[in-house]
């Protein structure tokens, strides 16, 4: 069954915007590079709610979580401006290789990934900043790589900018690649999770998104729960999702 076969979970909606929970493995919308893909989130949502929707931002195909669509052109223009001006609050959770730092701010410019068929020349690197906090650790008595044990971290991240693959590339820069990342990850650890836990997806999820509503001026904040596959990994590794007023919950909730 394809990711598009199930109804799309709607997390928030009004007359201008709808926020949905994108399944892992589903494109937000097709581009020239993805022309052969049969399904997209945009198409599935349009069919489900019976009206045209306007994409404002994207998540990678392999990433799950909160995505915002506009319901008319003016709404799309207004919120797209907020995205361009980096006035959107986005939060993610990832499982990464190794014991990530307790807290870090990665300030490392990134070049936009280039499709050589469309743009052979590389642009200059653009500023990119990601705030990170470690939520949990585990050490398994298994030799996955060159060490006798395997270490993993549950990490919350808040990108202050919006570069393509920013969180994945910044975590790789720290030598803590996201598990399941086919482009920037560690193949041995990806294989271990696939063969041992039966999870081959990218373990990165957009767990919350917040913005000032362009029409009302009110703060909108929407959370997306971890899906079943991600939640099962968290449980298998002996972790718990942050609750109450602990540091992890505060990091995910604060503006």
Among the listed residues 21, 34, 60, 247, the single catalytic one is: 60
Please name the residue ranges forming H helices in the chain: 41-49, 73-84, 166-173, 187-192, 228-236, 247-253
3-state SS string over 203-229? CEEEEEEEEECCCCCCEEEEECCCCHH
Strands 64-70 and 204-212: parallel
In 3D, which of 64, 100, 90 has the Cα closest to residue 199? 64
CATH topology classification for 9-253: Pseudouridine synthase (3.30.2350)
Name the pTM for this structure: 0.88
Task: For residues 155 and 53, give the distance between their C-alpha atoms in angstroms, rounded to a whole number.
Answer: 32
Measure Cα distances from 221 to 72, 96, 208, 234 in Å.
20, 26, 7, 24
CA dist., res. 109 & res. 241, Å (int): 31
Q: DSSP code of 178?
A: B
The model's pLDDT over 181-209, given as tens digits with 9 standing for 90+, comes to 999 999 999 999 999 999 999 999 999 99
Phi-psi region of 198 (alpha: psi -120 to 50; beta: other; left: phi over 0): left
CA dihedral 182, 25, 211, 222 (to 10 degrees): -120
Q: What pLDDT, on the 0 to 100 scale, is given for residue 38?
A: 72
| Confidence at 114, pLDDT banded by 50, 70, 90 | low
Could you read off the pLDDT of 18-33 as tens digits, one per residue?
A: 999 999 999 998 664 4
Examine the pLDDT at 168 and tell me if it is beyond 70: yes
Q: Is 60 a catalytic residue?
A: yes
For residue 72, pLDDT over 90 is answered with: yes
What is the number of alpha carbons within 13 Å of residue 59 lying toward its C-beta? 30
- pLDDT confidence tier of residue 5, bands split at 50, 70 and 90: low
> pLDDT digit string (tens) for 207-240?
999 999 999 999 999 999 999 999 999 999 999 7
Q: DSSP assignment, residue 194?
A: I
Distances (CA, A) of 124 to 121, 172, 192: 10, 20, 36
- Domain residue ranges in the chain: 9-253
User: How far is it, in rounded angstroms, from Cα 145 to Cα 47?
Assistant: 45
Q: β-strand 129-140 against 150-159: which pairing, if any?
A: antiparallel
Chain Cα centroid distance, residue 198:
20
Share of the chain above pLDDT 70, in %: 85
pLDDT, residue 252, reads 42
- Are 161 and 170 in contact by the 8 Å Cβ rule? The answer is no
List CB contacts of 242: < 8 A, sequence separation 6 or more: 135, 156, 248, 249, 252
Structure tokens at 118: 């469309």
What's the rounded Cα separation, in Å, for the pair 62 and 165? 11
């Amino acid at each position: 069954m394809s990711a598009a076969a199930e109804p799309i979970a709607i997390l928030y909606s009004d007359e201008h915007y709808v926020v949905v929970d994108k399944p892992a493995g589903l494109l937000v919308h097709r581009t020239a590079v993805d022309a052969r893909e049969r399904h997209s989130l945009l198409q599935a949502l349009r069919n489900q709610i019976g009206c045209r929707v306007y994409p404002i931002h994207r998540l990678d195909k392999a990433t799950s979580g909160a995505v915002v669509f506009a319901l008319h052109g003016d709404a799309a223009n207004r919120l797209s401006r907020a995205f361009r001006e980096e006035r959107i609050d986005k939060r993610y959770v990832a499982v990464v290789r190794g014991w990530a730092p307790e807290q870090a701010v990665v300030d490392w410019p990134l070049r936009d990934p280039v499709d050589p068929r469309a743009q052979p020349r590389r642009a200059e690197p653009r500023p990119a900043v990601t705030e990170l906090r470690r939520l949990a650790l585990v050490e398994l008595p298994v030799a996955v790589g060159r060490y006798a044990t395997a270490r993993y971290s549950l990490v919350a991240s808040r990108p202050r900018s919006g570069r393509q693959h920013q969180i994945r590339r910044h975590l790789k820069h720290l030598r803590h690649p996201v598990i399941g990342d086919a482009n920037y990850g560690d193949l041995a650890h990806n294989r271990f999770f696939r063969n041992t836990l039966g999870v081959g997806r990218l373990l990165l999820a957009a767990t919350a998104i917040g913005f000032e509503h362009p029409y009302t001026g009110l703060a909108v904040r929407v959370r997306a729960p971890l899906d079943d596959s991600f939640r099962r990994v968290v449980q298998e590794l002996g972790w718990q999702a942050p609750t109450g007023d602990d540091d992890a919950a505060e990091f995910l909730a604060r503006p």
